[in-house]
């Protein structure tokens, strides 16, 4: 997902095109997915769409879907429906955010392995962090089984105390994803269509949803402000012996 404007970035650039360690944030996400074995990527674009297209115009594995207007993450993913349905209904697909450049290929590999081993319709990676403000919370039942993702704006005071969060690393069976997206509504505090609602919908249908605590706490930092971008840049620079990343060759996995 790469359609957001990122108003808190104080720039006219699309948020995902701000550079971290010498490359647009979304490039780190695309390269991590390729290193995990993804053969084609659909970028959902909106604000500053042509800038994003230009950044990937030499990459034949990239396709684009346009999200206008921008009505939430579920609405964003649904714009990619023509690229996947019905021909690829039985395939698996990652759904990732373009503003999360700290993503690692090995995390995605773990996510996909768990998804396929468990026969799940949907699988999400979670993380437990000390300061969960701003992230969706993972709600579980008394036995510790996954119930739902609760977005920050919709959370009760009790739910806000949950420290297991959603860093937005997902894997879905394509047909189950798009069938569920057609039933997602926008009855929430933001008035948006959330991709996160798909998991609860699938559970209620009797589908399997798998959860894996696969994201290290130090990797859970999406970028919404210039200060967060500077912190991500510092982290990536610490990971890499050279400024130019080469994730596809496994140097930063």
Query: What residue spans define the domains of the chain?
Result: 7-241
Q: Which residues of the chain have pLDDT under 70?
A: 10, 241-253
Going by C-alpha positions, the residue among 4, 29, 21 that lies closest to residue 232 is 21
pLDDT at 19: 92
Give the separation between CA 210 and CA 233, rounded to whole angstroms. Answer: 32
pLDDT at 244: 42
Q: Which of 8, 106, 183, 249 is catalytic?
A: 8
Could you name the CATH architecture of 7-241? Alpha-Beta Complex (3.90)
Give the separation between CA 126 and CA 38, rounded to whole angstroms. Answer: 21
pLDDT at 248: 39
Give the separation between CA 3 and CA 64, rounded to whole angstroms. Answer: 11
pLDDT at 50: 94
Do strands 136-140 and 41-45 pair parallel, antiparallel, or not at all (unpaired)? Answer: unpaired
Give the separation between CA 164 and CA 200, rounded to whole angstroms. Answer: 17
pLDDT at 9: 75
pLDDT at 222: 77
Give the separation between CA 170 and CA 211, rounded to whole angstroms. Answer: 10
pLDDT at 218: 86
Phi, psi of 44 (to 5 degrees): -90, 115
Query: Are 231 and 110 spatial neighbours (Cβ–Cβ below 8 Å)?
Result: no
pLDDT at 243: 42
pLDDT at 241: 56
Give the separation between CA 122 and CA 19, rounded to whole angstroms. Answer: 31
Is residue 8 flagged as an active site residue? Answer: yes
């Amino acid at each position: 997902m790469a359609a957001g404007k990122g108003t808190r970035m104080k720039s006219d650039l699309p948020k995902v095109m701000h550079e971290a360690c010498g490359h647009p944030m979304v490039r780190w996400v695309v390269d991590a997915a390729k290193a995990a074995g993804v053969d084609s990527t659909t970028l959902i674009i909106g604000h500053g769409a042509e800038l994003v297209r230009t950044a990937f115009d030499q990459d034949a594995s990239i396709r684009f879907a346009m999200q206008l207007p921008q009505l939430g993450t579920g609405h964003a993913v649904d714009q990619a429906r023509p690229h996947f349905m019905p021909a690829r209904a039985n395939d698996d697909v990652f759904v990732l955010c373009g503003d999360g450049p700290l993503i690692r290929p090995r995390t995605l590999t773990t996510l996909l392995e768990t998804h396929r081993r468990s026969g799940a319709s949907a699988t999400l990676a979670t993380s437990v962090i000390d300061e969960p403000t701003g992230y969706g919370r993972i709600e579980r039942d008394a036995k510790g089984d996954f119930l739902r993702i609760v977005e920050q704006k919709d959370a009760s005071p009790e739910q806000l105390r949950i420290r297991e969060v959603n860093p937005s690393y997902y894997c879905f069976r394509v047909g189950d994803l798009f069938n569920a997206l057609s039933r997602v509504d926008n009855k929430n505090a933001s008035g948006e269509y959330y991709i996160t609602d798909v998991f609860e919908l699938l559970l209620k249908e009797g589908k399997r949803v798998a959860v894996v605590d696969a994201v290290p706490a130090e990797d859970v930092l999406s970028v919404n402000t210039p200060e967060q971008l500077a912190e991500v840049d510092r982290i990536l620079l610490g990971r890499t012996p050279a400024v130019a990343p080469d994730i596809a060759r496994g140097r930063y996995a």
